Amino acid sequence: MPSLLRSDSDIANSITCIISDVDGVLTDGRIIYDGKGVESKQFHVRDGLGIKLWMQSGYEFCILTSRQSTIVEKRSAELGIKHVAQGHAEKGATAQSMMDSLGCSAEQVCYIGDDLPDIPVMNNVGLAVAPADAANDARDAAHWILKSGGGEGAVRELVERLLRAKKQWEACVPS
């Protein structure tokens, strides 16, 4: 998808909801199992603060992932994310259900994803975003490609860019 020929402010003004993938976006995409088969993931603390700042600014943040993980449940609860859909390989219909339940139009939604299962959602939202290290096809579907990789602060970069464009970032910075 070609870059939008609108300013960040024009794009950001309509965005009221971010829907995010997990593996490859909020994490670096690695799934680690210990000797007992217990899964672990690593999240970036700045992504967590970015999510909190987005929600404190009055906007919705949702998680949509094709995998099922108690770690995602724990991290979502920690951050106060109320809208979490796990185990949905066909993300398009689930994203639409999330938008419907929140009363959001596609133009009000930003989706950040990194791989092939994310493309149907990316193709049907107002702003499609990919981390720097996303798969080529996901990068091609994105309006914005971030400088940060998945699990390296990509969501924080996205939130900061959106809030700066909305002229709301300064209110998030302590004086």
Binding annotation: 21, 23, 114
* Lookup result for tokens 């995602």: 72
Q: How far apart, in whole angstroms, are the C-alpha atoms of residue 132 and residue 151?
A: 11
The DSSP annotation for 53-113 comes to HHHHTT-EEEEE-SS--HHHHHHHHHHT--EEE-S-SSHHHHHHHHHHHHT--GGGEEEE-
Annotated binding site for Mg(2+): 21, 114
Which secondary structure element, helix H or strand E, spans residue 159, and what is its range? Answer: helix 154-165
Annotated binding site for substrate: 23
